[in-house]
């Protein structure tokens, strides 16, 4: 069978899954999508992703690639979007797609990844969005959090934000932008980097929240980064506040394909 490589942008509710990666005894985003693709193409198709996510983590614009039937693709490209969604549960949606070169790789060709972390900063938990944020009942000083975040910008050894079990060969990464904004009771921390270590964003957020609570100063956060010692840092922020929001490539980004 002649094959055509395509890139797909997916959105999912991580609360329904045990993470991206296929697992033998738990629901995963990968297995769910691959089953839907097999229903269309008539055989198993393996998906490769720009970044793996843990259980409970969401995605607004995750990019994956797959090799599909070239004949079927060229006959009706949009059928893959609508056909996949017809075979998917409401917790996962394909929201964009694009034909790519045969040697394109969603992970290895990715130049930048973006995440957003949401904190519900109110004395009472939200009844509507309890699985969409980290609930923080005490007031947070986002100016102090922003000041601390400046120390994480640039290319550094991020061992102090690296979780045990991380399989990356090097702890060096480049954080290119961090934005912290408040809209009503929701605080959003947006982070862009060339790549991330295992649970790096959640560990970053955990430490920034300690700054926001006055438990550590921005300068102390800088000292933590310089120490390269994870044991000196704050607890990891919970998964449900984290969203994968974009993947950037040489000639397009995932968020541009949505529509």
Residues with a known catalytic role: 54
Whether 154 and 166 share a structural domain:
yes
> 185 and 102, same structural domain?
no
| Judgement on whether residues 88 and 153 belong to the same structural domain of the protein | no
pLDDT tens for the chain, residues 1 to 259: 799 999 999 999 999 999 999 888 899 999 999 999 999 888 888 899 999 899 999 999 999 999 999 998 999 888 889 999 999 999 999 999 999 999 999 999 999 999 999 999 999 999 998 889 999 999 999 999 999 999 999 999 999 999 988 888 999 999 999 999 999 999 999 999 999 999 999 999 999 999 999 999 999 999 999 999 999 999 999 999 999 999 999 999 999 999 8
Q: What is the pTM of this model?
A: 0.95
Q: From the centroid of its chain, how far is CA 248?
A: 13
Whether residue 177 sits in one domain with residue 73: no
87 and 171 both lie in a single domain: no
Q: Residue 178 has which token pair? A: 């961090």
Domain boundary among 56, 82, 109: 109
Among the listed residues 251, 250, 249, the one whose alpha carbon sits nearest the alpha carbon of residue 114: 249
Within this chain, do residues 87 and 150 fall inside the same structural domain, yes or no?
no
Residues 35 and 89 in one domain: yes
pLDDT tens for 16-56 read 999 999 888 899 999 999 999 999 888 888 899 999 899 99
* Domain tally, the chain: 2
Residues 118 and 214 in one domain: yes
Task: Count Cβ neighbours within 10 Å for each residue of 157-182 and write b for 16 or more, e otherwise.
Answer: ebbbbbeeebeeeebebebeebebee
Domain span at 224: 112-246
Please tell me whether residues 100 and 139 are part of one structural domain.
no
Picking from 109, 125, 151, the residue at the C-terminal end of a domain is 109
Would you state the structure tokens that stand for residue 53, as one six-digit string? 């996510």
């Amino acid at each position: 069978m002649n094959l055509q490589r395509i890139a797909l942008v997916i959105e999912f509710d991580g609360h329904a899954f045990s993470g991206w990666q296929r697992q033998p005894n738990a629901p995963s985003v990968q297995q769910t999508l691959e089953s839907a693709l097999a229903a269309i193409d008539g055989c198993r198709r393996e998906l490769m992703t720009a970044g793996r996510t843990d259980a409970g983590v969401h995605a607004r614009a995750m990019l994956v690639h797959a090799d599909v039937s070239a004949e079927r693709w060229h006959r009706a490209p949009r059928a893959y979007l609508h056909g996949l969604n017809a075979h998917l549960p409401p917790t996962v949606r394909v929201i964009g797609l694009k034909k790519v070169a045969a040697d394109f790789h969603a992970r290895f060709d990715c130049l930048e990844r973006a995440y957003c972390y949401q904190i519900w900063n109110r004395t009472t938990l939200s009844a509507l969005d309890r699985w969409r944020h980290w609930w923080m009942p005490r007031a947070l000083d986002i100016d102090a959090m922003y000041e601390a975040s400046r120390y994480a910008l640039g290319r550094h050894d991020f061992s102090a934000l690296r979780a045990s079990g991380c399989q990356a060969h090097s702890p060096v990464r480049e954080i290119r932008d961090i934005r912290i904004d408040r809209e009503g009771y929701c605080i959003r921390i947006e982070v862009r980097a060339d790549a991330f270590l295992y649970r790096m964003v959640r560990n970053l957020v955990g430490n920034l929240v300690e700054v926001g609570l006055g438990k550590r100063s921005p300068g102390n956060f800088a000292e933590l980064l310089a120490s390269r010692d994870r044991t000196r840092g704050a607890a990891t922020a919970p998964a449900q506040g984290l969203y994968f929001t974009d993947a950037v490539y040489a000639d397009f980004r995932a968020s541009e394909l949505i529509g």
